[in-house]
Amino acid sequence: MKILVINAGSSSLKYQLINTDEHRMLAKGLCERVGSKDSYIKHGADKDERIFAQYMADHEEALHVVFDALCHSERSTITSIDEIDAIGHRIVHGGNYFDSSALITPDVIQKIEELCTLAPLHNPPALKCIQVCQRMAPEMPQVAVFDTSFFQTLPPSAYMYPLPYELCQKHQIRKYGAHGTSHRYIAQRCAALMERPIEDLKIITCHLGNGCSISAIDHGIAVDTSMGFTPLDGLMMGTRCGAIDPAIIPFLEEREDLTPTQINDLMNKQSGLKGVSGISNDMRDVRKGAEEGNERAILAYEMYAHSIRKYLGQYFIEMAGADAIVLTAGVGENCDRMRRMVFAGLQPLGIILDQEKNRRDYHGKERFISRDDSPVKIIVIPTNEEFMIAQDTLEIVNAQAS
Ligand SMILES: Nc1ncnc2c1ncn2[C@@H]1O[C@H](COP(=O)(O)OP(=O)(O)O)[C@@H](O)[C@H]1O
Ligand SMILES: CC(=O)OP(=O)(O)O
Ligand SMILES: [Mg+2]
């Protein structure tokens, strides 16, 4: 089966066309800066990629550009949309409605719409993509794969907030988590690499990209995660502040005369690495700034590592130890200096980084970076949310057909 996977971000759209029979990626790409004058599409993989400047006013135009690249470009792998059998969408927030992936129906669309306020950067563009795909291929089955589903197993002690109970019930305020598809994938790969059943393992998974989250996966079950009611909570991120003293919010609203929308924007888009360093939300720029001695870049870099260590410590205690710590996404996979800072001095806990293995650059490869005698294994595993989304889509479409 040929499955198109769509992963819509606030200003980006990632896609992959996957042949699930052969477990083969046929095409992939990324539209960046959707909505701005300098938008472009990167179509193809690694050295074979091509970048085209292309104005895309919104996600609808971006999807047309994607279909065009898939069907008509120099690197096209199909000649018409009709060759695609199904479409799988990444949806960040599924609230309490979804503990697994779902075939998209009018009812599912209505629920995703209802949840837009809880993932304002992610759910609205994803919804738009579903609607455009439905218009372009009305008969094609479409599946929603939710970032939050994986965390529906959290116990109430982990997902409840200590606010008045009735208010939490009334507004369904609880920890939902995010990046679940990525955490699920790397936990499964971790077990395969360790050649042990996932049911025997305690794993801490770290997704460190532009958005960042860490999860505790105890014997295959997600028991805690750093993102909360929305993807703003937890770790310091590229532009998001993560967990802060909540009293800062009314304080700033009053002192700076900010509306709730403005403060939300400030915490989501102007904070994190970008807000602290004053340079960029991109770790590569911050690291360069730090290497050049920029004090705010050094501070941002150190705060980022500190934030990761806090959650590692929390989940290590929550699970009474860990068999493995897995790192993924842009920073987790590529930033050896950040990994060195995160794991510095943890030998007494049985977490021993192998400096040489950590430094070696095996871009895109799964690898152990702990010392052979380290009781806790440290593993880098490139995430593959698209592969998981294609797999779930395949299962759901097959179940419908039978
Ligand atoms: N070689 C590298 N060294 C340090 N950071 C890197 C490197 N490559 C990518 N990154 C960082 O990874 C982050 C983006 O990660 P990614 O997983 O692509 O994010 P997202 O999917 O959330 O947009 C950026 O901060 C980027 O700077
Ligand atoms: C949920 C989330 O933060 O996703 P991303 O990392 O794609 O922004
Ligand atoms: Mg991401």
Q: Which of 15, 93, 179 to mutate to test ligand 2, by most ligand atoms within 8 A of the CB atom? A: 179
Ligand 2 nearest atom to the CA of residue 207, by list position? 6
pLDDT given at position 175: 98
**Token duo for residue 10:** 């606030």
**CA 273, 276, 280, 284 torsion: positive or negative?**
negative
Mean model confidence pLDDT for the chain: 95
Tell which of 146, 166, 195 closes a domain: 146
**268 in the same domain as 137:** no
Q: Is residue 163 part of a domain?
A: no
What whole-number distance in Å separates Cα of residue 315 and Cα of residue 13? 32
Cα–ligand 3 centroid distance for 102 (angstroms) = 21
What whole-number distance in Å separates Cα of residue 134 and Cα of residue 6? 13
Determine whether the annotation assigns residue 276 to a binding site.
no
How far is the CA of 68 from the CAs of 36, 61, 173, 229, in angstroms? 20, 11, 42, 37
Pocket, ligand 2, Cβ cutoff 6 A: 9, 92, 122, 147, 178-179, 209-211, 231
φ, ψ of residue 115 to 5 degrees: the values are -90, 5
- Give yes or no: 147 in active site: yes
Determine whether the annotation assigns residue 14 to a binding site.
yes
Q: Which of 6, 10, 11, 122 to mutate to test ligand 2, by most ligand atoms within 8 A of the CB atom? A: 122
**209 in the same domain as 262:** yes
pTM assigned to the model: 0.94
pLDDT digit string, tens, across residues 80-110: 889 999 999 999 999 999 999 999 999 999 9
pLDDT digit string, tens, across residues 168-203: 999 999 999 999 999 999 999 999 999 999 999 999
**188 in the same domain as 141:** no
What's the number of CA atoms in the CB half-sphere (13 Å) around residue 150? 32
What whole-number distance in Å separates Cα of residue 317 and Cα of residue 313? 6
CB burial of 367-396 (b: ≥16 within 10 Å; e: otherwise) equals ebbbbeebebbbbbbbbbbbbbbbbbbbeb
Determine whether the annotation assigns residue 209 to a binding site.
yes
**314 in the same domain as 227:** yes
What whole-number distance in Å separates Cα of residue 210 and Cα of residue 212? 6
Cβ contact 118:132 at 8 Å: no
Quick one: DSSP state of residue 36? S
Strand partners, 50: 43
Rounded to the nearest 10 degrees, how much is the dihedral formed by the CA atoms of 379, 158, 311, 7? 60
Ligand nearest to the CA of 281: 1
Determine whether the annotation assigns residue 360 to a binding site.
no
Distance between alpha carbon 24 and the CA centroid of its chain, in Å?
A: 22
What whole-number distance in Å separates Cα of residue 56 and Cα of residue 125? 13
**Structural domain boundaries enclosing 68:** 2-146
Output the domain CATH number for residue 55: 3.30.420.40
**219 in the same domain as 91:** no
Cα–ligand 3 centroid distance for 329 (angstroms) = 7
Other C-beta atoms closer than 10 Å to the C-beta of 203 total: 28
Determine whether the annotation assigns residue 7 to a binding site.
yes
Cα–ligand 2 centroid distance for 63 (angstroms) = 20
Ligand 2 nearest atom to the CA of residue 209, by list position? 6
Strand partners, 19: 2, 24
Cβ contact 319:311 at 8 Å: no
Ligand nearest to the CA of 225: 2
**98 in the same domain as 238:** no
Q: How many domains does the chain have?
A: 2
**251 in the same domain as 343:** yes
Angle at 146 between CA 142 and CA 147, to 5 degrees: 145
**130 in the same domain as 202:** no
Q: Is residue 250 part of a domain?
A: yes
How far is the CA of 259 from the CAs of 176, 192, 242, 262, in angstroms? 25, 49, 20, 5
Ligand 2 nearest atom to the CA of residue 10, by list position? 8
**245 in the same domain as 341:** yes
**10 in the same domain as 116:** yes
DSSP reduced 3-state for 298? helix
Q: Kindly report the protein residue whose alpha carbon is nearest to atom 8 of ligand 2.
A: 211
Q: Which residues of the chain have pLDDT under 70?
A: 45-47, 75
Q: What is the largest distance, in Å, between two alpha-carbon atoms of the chain?
A: 62
ipTM of the complex, rounded to two decimals: 0.97
Q: Kindly report the protein residue whose alpha carbon is nearest to atom 23 of ligand 1.
A: 210
Ligand 1 nearest atom to the CA of residue 211, by list position? 22
Cβ contact 371:245 at 8 Å: no
Cβ contact 276:302 at 8 Å: no
**344 in the same domain as 276:** yes
**Token duo for residue 328:** 């993924």
pLDDT given at position 121: 85
What whole-number distance in Å separates Cα of residue 340 and Cα of residue 106? 48
Catalytic residue among 147, 218, 233, 392: 147
**193 in the same domain as 124:** no
Give the strand pairing for 40-43 and 50-53.
antiparallel
Ligand nearest to the CA of 334: 1
DSSP reduced 3-state for 333? helix
Pocket, ligand 1, Cβ cutoff 6 A: 209-211, 238, 282-284, 287, 329-331, 334-335
What whole-number distance in Å separates Cα of residue 149 and Cα of residue 159? 13
Q: Is residue 9 part of a domain?
A: yes
Residue 136 buriedness (CB in 10 A; 0-12 / 13-18 / 19+): middle
Cβ contact 56:39 at 8 Å: yes
Ligand 1 nearest atom to the CA of residue 210, by list position? 22
Determine whether the annotation assigns residue 179 to a binding site.
no
